[in-house]
């Protein structure tokens, strides 16, 4: 071990070894992995080693596909046998809703390029896996590239291949302390102190302690997980092939063959946390006593699904710990506020996701950004609220127990909620508000009659008519929308204008004006679809998506300059939006100054009743609107005043569901759908806001796209011949038998009476009038490319 390395990776499990391998292969040879015990000690050695394509996040599913393709390569590079058994895999459904969901998921996989899947009947599934009972099954999905690996061999293959590329592996050397320095980090170990520019926390069960050494509280917790390995099953001895990996969604189990027996794994509802503050340092190759009473229900279902288990004994029980994040996805990337400190932890499916995690983190460190959109596993998707122990316990437990339970797009899960609430939350609840969540905040979805409960569904829900009425109010009268769920950053300082001009690709607004502003990465991909407001007093606001607060603040800090201060106002400022043709009549009743001169995209300070507010004349609904920003302490009073002032105009409170419907009718994109860090301005139409005459971050790449052949796919609006369901995202778009794109978001336009979607499609299919098809909840529907903004295409309403 040397005294200095460019990167020190802490943790010798599959993830740490993968990070080391990818760094070395991409050219950073001066890298070292430090493991307190031996490689695999922790979770890796006892993992079941399953690999499969299915994941609810399509971007992570694509990274899983990368891992599967990589495994034979690292075996070849290292010369280490990884015990790869590519058996194929089945995912089975036993209820109509689940079968509908699986058909929909199959189409999503087609959208992201996973082509080796197909739907199968129960009869075909029984032929593929003859030891499985198909009783009660409605269908399944087959995937060619599923199977399992030898976990110990795979970790050693990653590490061996890394060493061949020049990396160093040091075992039996516990990290004791971490200290941040001017140039990077000081890693104090049992065998001496190492300095490095970057340190990677791949600590697995010990990630919590390694985070605390750096002053970071990571939202992770280990949970216990059972699987058993049976004695030899005679029926397997008679087969001349290995039965496929099989997931029984109704039984909470997964299964694979293990020699001539079965390995049966269980995600039980009655979960059990362990060592929430991190595993003991002397833990490593131990297991817990099996707890059959706690898993009895799921165990019974498993033995019913695989009846041969009832006639043989259990050879081995494994009850070991794995580390989970609140949503079950990894925590990867640079930790905000800790330059040079990176995480690669909470990868509970390490042998499936480890390759993709290692690739993305190495790209991030070396090139400044990963090739793929990895927001779904970015450590900055959580804020300080996720450090709370009860929040971690509730959310990680919820994910574990729902590992094989489908979640509907309109379903609101209870764990970790309610946490943060706008001041008028209780009053809005009395008024019938139904709540969703954005980051830590409760946000209004719609307002319903007393006693109403929405039914989770992949199709149009029983809240459809309620949202339709809110849309009607927005289009014809005036709606009141709580806008606490927008992010707000205050930018000030002598260099604030120059800094904004550099990080924003658009022209900056003049005093008293607001402007839409794309923000780009150095590689020319989107980092934000933001709004910049110039208050005219030397201060500016940046407004965007509330759940991106930590993510955007990390970006701002990484590009900070002298003479600039950026302050997150998310704990100080909230507000309400007035939207609709009668919104001006309402606000004029309360404004102490003349507000009639405030034109579209104008902004200024106004006294609204007795409250000093910052008002912007804008709305994402496509109607005339005012966003009224106030202090948290004024929120309740502001709501009451606006409702009283609007009573004569028929004011009605509305939620985000109506806002999303009306924005689709204007072809307005939103982040995480039309706009992501995987897309470019040219793909999404954001290039129309770029000021090409100035210098800005990402300009060279944006110019190359503009002056080159352009993007292969561009954003369009689709009208879909749908009946009882609408597109939601990632459904494939077809021209005949050719896949030509995918849906980015969709829904019903209640004002136009049309099922609408926005989609990225091949340029030769993007012309207005192009006839295409889209799979909606697994059913193929005709779709037509229409002109943008099917409602009020000239924008007269919002500029009135």
Q: Give the pLDDT confidence of 169-224 residue by residue, as tens digits.
A: 999 999 999 999 999 999 999 999 999 999 999 999 999 999 999 999 999 999 99
pLDDT at 48: 95
Alpha carbons 206 and 13: distance in angstroms, whole number: 11
Lowest mean pLDDT among 45-54, 117-126, 573-582, 693-702: 45-54
- CA distances 800 to 470, 529, 584, 597, 746, Å, are 21, 24, 10, 12, 27
Rounded mean pLDDT, 756-770:
98
Q: What is the DSSP letter of 376?
A: G
Give the SS3 label for residue 335. Answer: coil
**Mean per-residue pLDDT for 438-467?**
97
What mean pLDDT is predicted for residues 260-279? 96
Whether pLDDT at 112 is above 90 = no
Nearest residue to 622 via CA among 750, 734, 731: 750
At residue 406, the pLDDT reads 85
What is the CATH superfamily name and number for domain 675-799? Aminomethyltransferase beta-barrel domains (2.40.30.110)
What share of the chain in percent tops pLDDT 70? 100
Band of pLDDT at residue 284, cut at 50, 70 and 90 = confident
At 43 the pLDDT is 95
pLDDT of residue 617: 98
What is the CB neighbour count within 10 angstroms for residue 493? 17
* Burial classification of residue 531, based on how many CB atoms lie within 10 Å of its CB (0-12 exposed, 13-18 middle, 19 or more buried): buried
Cα separation, 542 vs 573, whole angstroms: 13
Is the pLDDT assigned to residue 486 strictly greater than 90?
yes
Residues of the chain with pLDDT > 90, as a percent, come to 96
| Tokens coding 170 | 């040091």
Write down the domain spans for the chain.
4-333+336-367, 675-799
Residues 6 or more apart from 179 whose CB is under 8 A from it?
Answer: 185, 186, 188
* pLDDT, average across residues 376-389: 96
Same fold, 4-333+336-367 and 675-799: no
Q: What is the pLDDT of residue 65?
A: 87
Q: How large is the average pLDDT for residues 337-343?
A: 96
Query: pLDDT class for 114, splitting at 50, 70, 90?
Result: confident
What per-residue confidence (pLDDT) applies to 344?
98
Q: Side-chain half-sphere of 8: how many Cα atoms within 13 Å? A: 29
pLDDT level of residue 447 (50, 70, 90 thresholds)? very high
Average pLDDT for 447-453: 97
Give the contacts of 296 (CB within 8 A, at least 6 positions apart).
Answer: none
Helix (H, G, I), strand (E, B) or coil at 633: helix
Structure tokens belonging to residue 342: 């990176």
pLDDT at 56: 66
Band (116; pLDDT cuts 50, 70, 90) = confident
Q: Dig out the tokens for 474 from the structure.
A: 């927005």
Contact present, 731 and 775 (Cβ < 8 Å): yes
Sign of CA dihedral 590, 596, 601, 605: negative
Structure tokens at 293: 């009473």
What would the pLDDT profile of 701-719 be if each residue is shown by its tens digit? 999 999 999 999 999 999 9
CA distance 244 to 147: 7
- pLDDT for position 586: 98
Res 555 pLDDT > 90: yes
- Over 90: is that where the pLDDT of 110 sits? no
Over range 90-95, report the average pLDDT.
95
Quote the CATH superfamily of domain 4-333+336-367: FAD/NAD(P)-binding domain (3.50.50.60)
What integer is the mean pLDDT of 393-412? 94
Give the tokens for residue 627. Answer: 């966003």
Q: Which residues have a Cβ under 8 Å from the Cβ of 432 and sit 6 or more positions away?
A: 447, 448, 449, 450, 452
What number is the average pLDDT over the span 237-249?
96
Helix (H, G, I), strand (E, B) or coil at 270: coil
The whole-number average pLDDT for the span 216-244 is: 97
What distance in Å separates the CA atoms of residue 713 and residue 307, rounded to the nearest whole number? 50
Strands 652-654 and 479-482 turn out to be: parallel
Average pLDDT, the chain: 96
């Amino acid at each position: 071990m040397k005294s200095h390395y460019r990167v020190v990776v802490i943790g010798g499990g599959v993830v740490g070894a993968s990070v080391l391998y990818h760094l070395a292969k991409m050219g950073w040879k001066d890298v070292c992995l430090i493991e307190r015990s031996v490689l695999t000690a922790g979770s890796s050695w006892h993992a079941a080693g399953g690999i499969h394509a299915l994941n609810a996040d399509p971007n992570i599913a694509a990274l899983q596909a990368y891992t599967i393709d990589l495994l034979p390569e690292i075996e070849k590079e290292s010369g280490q046998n990884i015990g790869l058994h590519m058996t194929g895999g089945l995912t089975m459904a036993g209820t109509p809703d689940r079968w509908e969901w699986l058909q929909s998921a199959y189409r999503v996989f087609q959208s992201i390029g996973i082509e080796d899947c197909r739907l199968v009947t129960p009869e075909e599934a029984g032929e593929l896996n003859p030891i499985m009972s198909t009783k009660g099954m409605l269908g399944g999905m087959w995937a060619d590239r599923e199977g399992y690996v030898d976990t110990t061999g795979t970790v050693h293959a990653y590490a061996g291949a890394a060493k061949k590329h020049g990396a160093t592996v040091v075992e039996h050397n516990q990290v004791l302390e971490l200290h941040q320095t001017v140039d990077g980090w000081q890693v104090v170990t049992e065998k001496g102190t190492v300095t490095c520019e970057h340190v990677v926390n791949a600590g697995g069960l010990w990630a919590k302690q390694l985070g605390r050494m750096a002053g970071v509280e990571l939202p992770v917790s280990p949970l216990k997980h059972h699987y058993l390995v049976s004695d030899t099953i005679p029926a397997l001895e008679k087969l001349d092939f290995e039965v496929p990996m099989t997931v029984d969604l109704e039984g909470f189990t997964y299964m694979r063959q293990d020699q001539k027996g079965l390995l049966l794994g269980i995600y039980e509802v009655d979960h059990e946390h362990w060592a929430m503050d991190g595993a003991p340092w002397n833990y490593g190759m131990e297991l817990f006593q099996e707890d059959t009473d706690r898993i009895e229900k799921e165990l019974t279902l498993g033995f019913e699904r695989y009846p041969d288990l009832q006639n043989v004994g259990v050879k081995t029980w494994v009850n070991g710990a794995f580390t989970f994040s609140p949503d079950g996805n990894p925590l990867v990337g640079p930790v905000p506020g800790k330059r040079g400190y990176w995480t690669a932890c909470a990868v509970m499916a390490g042998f499936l996701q480890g390759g993709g995690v290692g690739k993305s983190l190495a790209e991030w460190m070396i090139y400044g950004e990963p090739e793929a959109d990895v927001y779904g596993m970015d450590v900055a998707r959580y804020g300080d609220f996720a450090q709370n122990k009860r929040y971690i316990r509730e959310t990680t437990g919820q994910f574990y127990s729902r590992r094989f339970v489908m979640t509907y797009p309109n379903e609101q899960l209870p764990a970790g909620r309610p946490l943060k609430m706008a001041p008028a939350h209780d009053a809005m609840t009395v008024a019938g508000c139904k709540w969703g969540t954005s980051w830590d905040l409760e946000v209004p979805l719609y307002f319903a009659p007393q006693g109403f409960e929405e039914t989770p569904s992949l199709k149009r829900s029983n809240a459809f008519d309620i949202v339709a009425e809110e849309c009607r109010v927005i289009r014809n009268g005036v709606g009141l929308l709580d806008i606490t769920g927008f992010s707000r950053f205050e930018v000030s300082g002598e260099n604030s204008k120059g800094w904004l001009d550099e990080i924003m690709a658009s022209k900056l607004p003049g005093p008293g004006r607001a402007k839409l502003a794309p923000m780009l990465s150095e590689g020319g991909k989107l980092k934000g679809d933001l709004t910049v407001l110039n208050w005219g007093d030397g201060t500016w606001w940046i407004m965007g998506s509330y759940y991106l607060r930590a993510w955007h603040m990390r970006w701002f800090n990484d590009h900070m300059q002298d003479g600039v201060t950026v302050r997150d106002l998310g704990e100080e400022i909230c507000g309400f939006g007035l939207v609709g043709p009668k919104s001006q009549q309402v606000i004029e009743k309360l404004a102490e100054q003349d507000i009639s001169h405030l034109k579209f995209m104008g902004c200024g300070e106004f006294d609204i009743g007795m409250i000093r507010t910052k008002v912007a004349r804008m709305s994402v609904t496509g109607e005339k609107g005012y966003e009224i920003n106030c202090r948290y302490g004024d929120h309740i009073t502001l709501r009451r005043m606006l409702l009283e002032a609007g009573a004569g105009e028929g004011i009605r409170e509305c939620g985000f569901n109506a806002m999303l419907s009306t924005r689709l009718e204007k072809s307005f994109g939103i982040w995480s759908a039309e706009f992501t860090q995987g897309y470019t301005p040219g793909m999404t139409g954001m290039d129309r806001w770029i000021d090409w005459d100035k210098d800005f971050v990402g300009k060279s790449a944006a110019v190359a796209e503009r002056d080159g052949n352009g993007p292969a796919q561009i954003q369009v609006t689709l009208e879909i011949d749908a009946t009882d369901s609408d597109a939601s995202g990632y459904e494939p778009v077809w021209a005949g038998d050719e896949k030509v794109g995918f849906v980015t978001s969709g829904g019903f336009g209640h004002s136009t009476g049309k099922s609408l979607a926005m989609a990225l499609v091949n340029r030769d299919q993007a012309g207005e009038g192009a006839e295409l098809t889209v799979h909606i909840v697994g059913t193929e529907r005709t779709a037509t490319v229409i002109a943008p903004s099917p409602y009020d295409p000239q924008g007269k309403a919002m500029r009135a």
